[in-house]
């Protein structure tokens, strides 16, 4: 095999390769052996037709394209890998010429990794907020904890806002029941806004066993058929349940936590909320640093890299949907589109991330970032622990190259973030 010519034009490379007769014969014969099982010629049983007879009937080069497919891994190694052509995706065959003496010359084209020119990526000034926790946030968490341990009891009094009313109801439009307007033993939290405006307020003051008609006018933006219509709901109140929320004192703190006093519980809530806020701010700061470095990078992004990142993002989102019991098609339909519409919606994010990816890879190259065997082993052990799998199982599932690339990316991010200068956010 002889690589005759390599031409690069932007993100495209065209490679001309001369394949000797012996290698081509190997591929052609392999293609014939596969195809003959389905070929039947007059005078021969199916799968028994000689190659020469098939070539005489269909053309001397009938198996050449399939034969080239058979030997393509060897051609790719010689024409792309050994020539240090950073191909993206699978090259395509653009021309094939067969000489009289049986030598095959092919031309293949491929997208290639782009030229990346870094801009400033060290010492970047990036906004970073100050982590803080308000008294209102602490109180909101205390209220949530109190609601989690709240008890309920049936009361023999008139219903009030905040109570849960168990009701039977049926709606009538000019005396005729309408679809979706009936319910039995329905628990309605008064004040929740779950029902049409004005409904819950008219339950207030009713007592268990009482029945009444409630006049309601549906909002103008309600669904077709009932929008803006005055209707009557016949309601029966079955029972009233009161939610008893415990007082937030030292005894409450002992019941819901390992602390003896409410002040200690408040301090713990504040500390954890502050830690969480700092994590979120640091994560946002890191992302902003990386995005700014990528914005400073000059690169003509190949379509193939963007499409590959788009595939990754769609696959990741599809997996998340699957965990929730939906397919990509179902979700797209619910959103009023199709999978193609969703893919287009993901495209801007994929373009942005693809540029970040090449920026980080270039930084790794410029900074001579290396990954040690100990670091790779530590990462594999971390994955094994995270997913509760045997270490050997993880090693068999995750390629070392993938781990290495991930660790290099993290180190490149660290180069950017560690040198960045945090500045106060601009006033809104």
At 155, is the secondary structure helix, strand, or coil? Answer: strand
> Whole-angstrom Cα distance, residue 359 to residue 262?
50
What does DSSP assign to residue 100?
T
Q: Which residues have C-beta within 8 Å of that of residue 101, sequence separation ≥ 6?
A: 21
Q: Is the C-alpha dihedral spanning 41, 43, 48, 49 positive or negative?
A: negative
With 0-12 CB in 10 A as exposed, 13-18 as middle and 19+ as buried, what is 355?
Answer: buried
Q: Mark out the alpha helices in 7-59 (DSSP H runs).
A: 21-35, 51-58
pLDDT in tens, the chain (428 residues): 788 888 888 888 899 988 888 888 898 889 888 888 888 788 777 878 888 888 888 888 888 888 888 888 888 888 888 888 888 877 888 888 888 777 889 898 988 889 999 999 999 999 999 999 999 999 999 999 999 999 999 999 999 999 999 999 999 999 999 988 899 999 999 999 888 889 999 999 999 999 999 999 988 888 777 888 899 999 999 999 999 999 999 999 999 999 999 999 999 999 999 999 999 999 999 999 999 999 999 999 988 899 999 999 999 999 999 998 888 898 888 888 888 999 999 999 999 999 999 999 999 999 999 999 999 999 999 999 998 999 999 899 999 999 999 999 999 999 999 999 999 998 77
Cβ atoms of 397 and 358 within 8 Å: the answer is no
CA distances from 409 to 219, 310, 373 (A): 54, 19, 16
Model pTM? 0.74
Token pair recorded at residue 264 = 């200690």
Q: How many CB atoms lie within 10 A of CB 352?
A: 15
> Whole-angstrom Cα distance, residue 414 to residue 293?
12
Token pair recorded at residue 19 = 């394949």
CA distances from 120 to 19, 126, 370, 425 (A): 46, 13, 22, 21
Domains within the chain, CATH numbers bracketed: 2-112 (3.30.70.1050), 151-244 (3.10.50.40), 262-423 (1.10.3120.10)
What does DSSP assign to residue 42?
T
């Amino acid at each position: 095999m002889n690589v005759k010519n390599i031409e690069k034009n932007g993100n495209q490379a065209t490679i001309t390769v001369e394949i000797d007769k012996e290698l081509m014969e190997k591929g052609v014969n392999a293609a014939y052996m596969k195809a003959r099982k389905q070929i039947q010629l007059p005078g021969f049983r199916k799968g028994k037709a000689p190659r020469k007879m098939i070539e005489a009937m269909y053309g001397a080069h009938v198996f050449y394209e399939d034969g080239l497919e058979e030997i393509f891994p060897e051609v790719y190694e010689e024409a792309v890998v050994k020539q240090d052509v950073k191909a993206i995706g699978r090259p395509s065959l653009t021309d094939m010429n067969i000489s009289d003496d049986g030598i095959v010359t092919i031309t293949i084209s491929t997208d290639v990794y782009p030229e990346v020119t870094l801009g400033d990526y060290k010492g970047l000034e990036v906004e970073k907020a100050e982590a803080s926790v308000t008294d209102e946030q602490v109180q909101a968490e205390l209220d949530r904890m109190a609601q989690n341990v709240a008890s309920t009891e049936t009361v023999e009094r008139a219903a009030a806002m905040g109570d849960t009313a168990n009701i039977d109801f049926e709606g009538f439009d000019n005396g005729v029941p309408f679809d979706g307007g009936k319910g039995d033993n329905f628990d309605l939290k008064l004040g929740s806004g779950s029902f049409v405006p004005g409904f819950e307020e008219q339950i207030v003051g009713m007592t268990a066993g009482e029945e009444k008609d409630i006049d309601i006018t549906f909002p103008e933006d309600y669904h077709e058929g009932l929008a803006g219509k005055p209707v009557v709901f016949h309601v029966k109140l079955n029972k009233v349940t009161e939610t008893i929320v415990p007082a937030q004192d030292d005894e409450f703190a002992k019941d819901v936590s390992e602390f003896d006093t409410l002040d200690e519980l408040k301090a713990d809530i504040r500390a954890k909320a502050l830690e969480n806020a700092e994590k979120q701010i640091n994560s946002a700061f890191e992302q902003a640093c990386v995005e700014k470095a990528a914005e400073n990078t000059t690169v003509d992004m190949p379509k193939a890299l963007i499409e590959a990142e788009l595939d990754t993002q769609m696959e990741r989102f599809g997996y998340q949907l699957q965990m929730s019991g939906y397919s990509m098609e179902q979700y797209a339909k619910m959103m009023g589109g199709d999978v193609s519409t969703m893919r287009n919606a993901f495209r801007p994010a994929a373009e942005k991330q693809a540029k970040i990816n090449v920026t980080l890879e270039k930084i790794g190259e410029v900074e001579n970032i290396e990954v040690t065997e100990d670091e790779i082993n530590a990462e594999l052990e971390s994955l094994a622990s995270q997913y509760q799998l045997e270490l050997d199982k993880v090693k068999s599932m995750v390629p070392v190259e993938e781990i290495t690339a991930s660790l290099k990316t993290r180190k490149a991010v660290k180069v950017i973030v560690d040198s960045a200068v945090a500045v106060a956010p601009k006033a809104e």
